Amino acid sequence: MMRQRYINLLFGLALAWLSSATHASTPSGIGVAEPQAFRNAAARVEPSVVTIETVGGAMPPDIAGGGQSFRIADGPSTGLIHAADGLIITSSFNFVRDPSVITVTLADGRRFVADLIARDEIRKLAMLRIDATGLPVPVWAAPTERRVGMWSIALGRAFGGDRAAMSVGMISAVGRFDGLAVQTDAKLSPVNYGGPLIDLAGRVIGLCVPIGPNLSEMAGAGLYDSGVGFVIGIEQIRRVQTRLARGESIVPGKFGAAIQDAEPGGVRIKAVAEPSPAHQAGMLAGDRIVEIDGQPIARVDTLMRLMSLRAAGEAVTITLMRDEQRMTFRVTLHSISAIGPFPAPPSDEPAASRPSTAPASQPASQPAA
Amino acid sequence: MTRNGWSFGLVVPLLATAGARGDEVVIPPEVRAAESARIALIERIAPAVVCMLDENKKGGGAGILIDPAGYGLSNFHVVARSMETRRGFGGLADGTAYPMEILGVDVTGDVAMFKLTGSERFDAVSLGDSDRMRIGDPVLVMGDPFAVAWDYTASVSRGIVSGVHRYQKGAGDRLVYTDCIQVDAAVNPGNSGGGLFNHAGKLVGIIGRASFAERGRVSVGLGYAISANQIRRFIPGLRAGLHTFHGTLDATVTDAPEGVIFNAMHTDSIAAEMGIELGDTLLRFDGYEIRSANQFASLLGTYPDGWPVSVDYRRGDQERSVELRLSRLPVTLDAPIPVDREQNLAEVRRTLERFKAAVGGAERIADVVSIGWTGVREHLEQSQRVTMSQPVRLELEKVSPASPVHPLAWNLTDHPEPEDEPSWTVVGADAHEGEIVQVLEHRQPDGGRIYFAFDETCLLRRVQVAFEEGEIARVYTYDGYQDVDGLRLPRRMGAAHDVDRQFHVDIVEQYVLERRM
Amino acid sequence: MIRSVTLITLTLLAGPARAERATDALHDVVTEALPRVVKLYGASVGQSEWFGSGVLVSSDGQVVTMLSVMLDADRLRGVTADGTAYPARVVRRDEARQLALVQLDLAAVHATQPPSLPYFAPVSSDAVQPGDWVTVVANPFRVAEGDELLSVMLGTLSTKTKLDARRYTQDIRYDGPVLVVDAITSNPGSSGGALLTLDGRWIGLLGRIATSNLTGTRLNYAIPGEEVDAFLRGVPTIRSVQTVEPIEPGYHGIKLFKFGFRRKLVYVDRVAGNSPASRAGLRRDDLIVTIDGKPIRRVREFHEIMNRHGPGEVVTLDIKRGKKLITAKLTLDEPR
């Protein structure tokens, strides 16, 4: 069996090599074969791609970040069947309005009312449930099957129609944000947030979400169509799917301290909120954080990065220096809503690290860092 | 709710990926092959892409390693924040932040060179011929957009060449992009200093700019790279820690019915000095046809200060040609950028060591007592043939028009001592017979100067001698090596000549080695 | 082992060689196409002038571009590939298709023997399917001046769909299908540029900068070649947004909630007895989610759509009742 496959492969490659050796000056070769391959890949996953429509809800905030702000529109959005018995996974971006009614239309045209059962605010995911069974579940690519340079096609349902709209790109990086996301230069936007990014075999590389460089709320959407887009892979979804399926939302976890860079290194606590895990544990303003879960913290940037992936309910070990004494605290993180005010107004929140910008004048193009 | 039903539904697809299924997509072999080729190409280049970090290891911008010794290229505007200390870090795909030093900079052209330390050997890429890039060519861009490379693994985007020989106005006289390559691959803040690669994985440009729209600083499909061919002319100076300048004619041209004409000229300009006048029609510059004023401005912007170029022009119905060296184009700086003296010296040592290695190695030279050099000196007017032989191991005080010296031989037998070192400098790059060379200057105690020009392979190409504080008086040119008693010594073809053309030495040049027993 | 090495070698050999062949083809296509697209410059906007692109459609200098008030300028001019600038004027406008025909005045520059310019004939966009490679030739950000070559991009066709977009706050009144492109064409200067297949056929005209009403983001679209062709042949457009024959709307029997917090959604307040709605099974508190497949979110939208259907017509409603989605078909009655 394997031998036959090898021979087939050899033959195919020899053919390809030979045909490349003959003069093929028109793009009839690969210029036609690649688009057909894109379509075939899309066709494989299309049965699992759903159209989500929402009705009602609050006026959405403008999305800012990276680019100019834009107002969220209320056209259709995209989702992916996650379990045969009615779980749909999509992006929380599509529910910023907190809509009154959510409908899901399957590829076969059947339409259902959907319940939004939970959100993951860190991964920008949302889980819906519809009352259906026997749904076609897509095939996901395993993490080891992702390679930088692979074709990756994003599918989106915003424009309606028989088939999803396609954006063709490639995998730009794997393991971004400590393994949270895979990066692509396909154009990700509200057209396809919540939809799949697939490889040539039609397997899902990840779910398209609006993550931004500092992982903040929805600012990632400001980078739409930038060629820097992020998707959440199956290994990340598996970490949270049980909780989401039973209605448990995942929110960023905080311990309740206002912080700034300290000399000669580490992060100074400027104020402790009350109530908060930090307050409860006995951390004080003036303490200098030097480690989180055993990882040395040199600057606020590092701390923000480590904390940006932590959820409320998770525990974290904080090592700090107080008057030359080394102290360790184990705290359980809370959501922002469960944390009280700071006693004195803290100075400016540390800004997320950003690359330095260009000289101020207005040439036709600008330095890109 | 949570039943085995749905978890089974998830497990099955995961298992299903391992084997073949009936509905599996059939991917044509040529499509697979092209994709695999791209994956392999990226794997090959990626180790050479650097995430540029400041002294606090904070990111912002990229760089590309072009020499296994750790030399790399980036934008000036990426390293500008680190110019006070000239120190930073370079993050590589192996996850390590290597100590980085900033060497030379080109503020006008927005290029900088850096060097990483901390490894015996770095993965590097080589420069390609950017003049061969055509519209439609596939390209890859690698850098660190939005500083998302927490682990220093650069981001890659793909696209095509959208335009060539583009001109992008700078910020005043700085960061001007002339003759740059335009691409539609995603270029965002953070891609600066990163690489533009052709389909063979050669570095054909350093990405540094993008057009941004009303939306803000987010790619809209227009990115620009400084061409590799322009950067090549600056590399010898950048490696030596110099602040390199661009060249100018101190004259401007404009489009007119009869062609591109000189319409303004500084009275002290090199153009005027060489006899060009207002109204003359510019035909060719450095061999390139000139079609428009814009095209000329763009082309001129790729040349360094002092570069030798030929200028062909027409006056009336007569075509004329001059060879001149471009003047220095000044640039506005917030603070003057001092020459990195240490770097310069390090580069001097490096070049001389490489040269000695090419000749045969320091050990082999160590036992050479003298290199005898025989040449024939001919007086042009009198056709007199005089045979000279000169033992070398020179007291350089004796250098004078009467005692022709072979500076090369001197260089081989004397190793610069630390006291000598202040007398050695890399002065920059030059063009010699169409090739880019690095020029080292050695100042003699009596004020004379000898300039050694080495090409990329450290082959000695030219030696210029200036006596006392005067101008270049004598020029020797070389084009290869000859074996002399186990050493590879530069071989001269054609005549060495005195600049005032009074004397020239015949092509017969012999070395005779005397070794210590 | 040797087999794998052979495979890998063959793979790598096949790759780059293929790439070169394909790019030769693309370069040739682009070389042919570039002289058929022109740079346009028009009315002044503050310190700067408007700039865009246009496609040559005749050898004597007719150019198709997107309709814009910026074309109504004394200084409207078109610049061809060799850098020659010609005065130009609009000779025909098509509001429905958002297209304009501009004539370059060749005689103004060439007193005798005006040149015969290379031009494109529009081709139906049926020639492309989603996923196909497409090339874009235009002058975004006026990067190219004079005789400098226009900018070229490579993308794919994303989808073909009805245009639902706006410029600033105004909806674009173009009622037909557009090609949505997976490349950034929504840039200043790109409108009027050419969308081509990989083998160089002209299948679309790049639209103006617009924001999709469905996504809130910039839409990269092109007017399909068949529309441009119809425009050039003088075919009047049948689809017209403004002229809707007023008809006597059919009676449905639904009374909607008008007050309170439910104003924004379309809830049924009362169903008249012996009405199309009652016969279809509608009840009080039903939430009307879609009409004929189109989601509706406002009472106003409900009335707008229902008023377009006359007696005897069948209208399909999706309604949410509790957690279920129910489809109801109403056959409208004579007005009461």
Q: What pLDDT is stored for residue B500 in this prediction?
A: 54
Kindly provide the ipTM of the predicted complex, given to two decimals.
Answer: 0.85
Distance CA B403, CA B386 (A): 13
Q: Chain-wide mean pLDDT for chain B?
A: 83
Distance from C-alpha of B181 to C-alpha of B177, rounded to nearest angstrom: 9
**CB atoms closer than 10 angstroms to residue B422:** 11
Q: Which of residues 274-303 of C touch A (CB under 8 A)?
A: 287, 289-290, 295-297
Identify all chain C residues contacting B165, using CB atoms and an 8 Å cutoff: 148
Do the chains contact at A17 and C10, CB–CB below 8 Å?
yes
Q: How far is CA C57 from CA B249, C37, C186, C198, in A?
A: 44, 9, 23, 20
Task: Record the pTM.
Answer: 0.87
Least-confidence region, from B124-138, B254-268, C244-258: C244-258
pLDDT, residue B424, reads 87
Q: Which of A31, A103, A161 sits opposite C198 (nearest CB)?
A: A31
The answer to whether the CB atoms of A172 and B155 lie below 8 A apart is yes
- Helix A30-45 vs helix C2-33: crossing angle, to nearest 10: 110
CB contact under 8 A, A245 and B57: no
- Whole-number CA gyration radius for chain B: 27
The Cα–Cα gap between B147 and B298 comes to 31
Instruction: Flag if A131 and C143 touch (Cβ within 8 Å).
Output: no
Q: Give the per-residue pLDDT at B15.
A: 33
Distance CA A210, CA A65 (A): 11
Residue B182 at interface with chain C, using a CB cutoff of 8 Å: yes
pLDDT at B172: 81
DSSP one-letter string for C11-33: HHHHHHHHHHHHHHHHHHHHHHH
pLDDT confidence of residue A56: 77
Instruction: Give Cβ neighbours of residue A135 (< 8 Å, ≥ 6 apart).
Output: A48, A81, A83, A84, A85, A86, A106
- The number of beta carbons lying within 10 Å of the beta carbon of residue C213 is 16
Of C18, C187, C188, the CB nearest to B34: C18
Query: Within an 8 Å CB–CB cutoff, is residue C117 touching chain A?
Result: no
Q: Which residues fall within 8 angstroms of residue B237, CB to CB, at 6 or more apart? A: B104, B244, B304, B426, B427, B428, B429, B438
| Interface test mutation site (partner A, options C159, C184, C198, max chain A beta carbons within 10 A) | C159
Within an 8 Å CB–CB cutoff, is residue A2 touching chain B?
Answer: no
CA distance A109 to A50: 9
Query: In chain A, what residues touch B16 (CB-CB under 8 Å)?
Result: 139
Closest to B5 (Cβ–Cβ): which among A85, A305, A363? A85
Q: Which tokens sit at C204?
A: 């679309």
CB-CB under 8 Å, B294 with C154: no
| Of the partner residues A10, A75, A165, the one whose CB lies closest to the CB of residue C158 | A165
Q: How close is the nearest chain A Cα to the Cα of C54, in Å?
A: 21
Quick one: pLDDT at residue B146? 93
What angle is formed at CA B95 by the lines to CA B94 and CA B96, rounded to 5 degrees? 95
Q: For residue A185, what is the enclosing H or E element?
A: none
C-alpha R_g of chain A: 24
Contact assignment for C22 to A74 by CB distance below 8 Å = no
Say what the pLDDT of residue A29 is.
Answer: 79
**Spatial separation of the C-alpha atoms in residues C97 and C239, rounded to whole Å:** 9
Report DSSP letters for A117-151, one per residue: EEEETTTTEEEEE-S--SPPPPPBPPGGG--TT-E
What is the full DSSP assignment across A188-206? -STTTTTSEEE-TTS-EEE
Residue B478 confidence (pLDDT) above 80: yes
Contacts of B223 by beta carbon, 8 Å cutoff, 6+ apart:
A368, B141, B159, B182, B183, B184, B185, B186, B187, B191, B207, B209, B210
Q: How many CB pairs under 8 A join A and C?
A: 165
Cβ of residue A103 closer than 8 Å to a chain C Cβ: yes
- pLDDT tens, chain A, 369 aa long: 566 665 555 555 554 444 443 333 334 578 999 999 999 999 999 999 999 999 877 776 676 655 556 778 888 999 999 999 999 999 999 998 888 899 999 999 999 999 999 999 999 999 999 999 999 999 999 999 999 999 999 999 999 888 999 999 999 999 999 999 999 999 999 999 999 999 999 999 999 999 988 776 666 888 999 999 999 999 999 999 999 999 999 999 999 999 998 887 889 999 999 999 999 999 999 999 999 998 888 888 888 888 888 999 999 999 999 988 999 999 999 998 889 988 866 555 454 333 333 333 333 455 443
Identify the three-state secondary structure at position C150: coil
Q: Is residue B496 within 8 Å of residue B460, measured between CB atoms?
A: no
Q: Tell me if chain C has a CB within 8 Å of the CB of A10.
A: yes
Nearest C-alpha neighbor of A272 from the set A263, A281, A283, A264: A283
Give CA–CA dist B240/B113, Å, rounded: 9
Q: Is any Cβ of chain C less than 8 angstroms from the Cβ of B27? A: no
- Distance of alpha carbon C210 from alpha carbon C221, whole angstroms: 9
Closest partner CB to A142 (pick from B17, B40, B61): B17
pLDDT of B14: 36
- pLDDT of A298 reads 85
Shortest CA distance to A181 belongs to which of A246, A120, A138? Answer: A120
Helix (H, G, I), strand (E, B) or coil at C183: coil
Selected residues 138-197 of chain C with any CB under 8 Å from a CB in chain A: 141-143, 155-156, 158-161, 164, 180, 182, 184
pLDDT at B382 over 70: no
Confidence label for B439 from pLDDT (cuts 50, 70 and 90): very high
Question: How is residue B324 written in tokens?
Answer: 């001149």
Dihedral pair phi/psi, residue B354, rounded to 5°: -65, -40
User: Looking up tokens 């770097």, which residue turns up?
Assistant: B343
Q: Extract the tokens encoding A103.
A: 């409908």
User: Residue B2 pLDDT > 90, yes or no?
Assistant: no
Among A256, A278, A235, residue whose Cα is nearest residue A336: A256
B105 close to B59: Cβ distance less than 8 angstroms: no
Distance of CA B208 to the CA centre of its chain: 17
Low-confidence ranges of chain C (pLDDT < 70): 1-23, 238-245, 259-264
Residue in B with minimal Cα distance to C186: B220
Structure tokens at C249: 């709307």
Lowest average pLDDT, out of A26-30, B284-288, B310-314, goes to: A26-30
A31 and C133 in contact by Cβ < 8 A? yes
Task: Please report the pLDDT score of residue C86 as a whole number.
Answer: 96
Least confident span in B69-83, B352-366, C136-150: B352-366
Which one is predicted more confidently, B473 or A159? A159
Distance (Å, rounded) from C-alpha B270 to C-alpha B288? 19
d(CA B41, CA C135): 25
More confident residue, A305 or B156: B156
Largest separation between any pair of C-alpha atoms in chain B = 109
Higher per-residue pLDDT: B32 or C170 = B32
- Closest residue in A to C8 (Cα) is A13
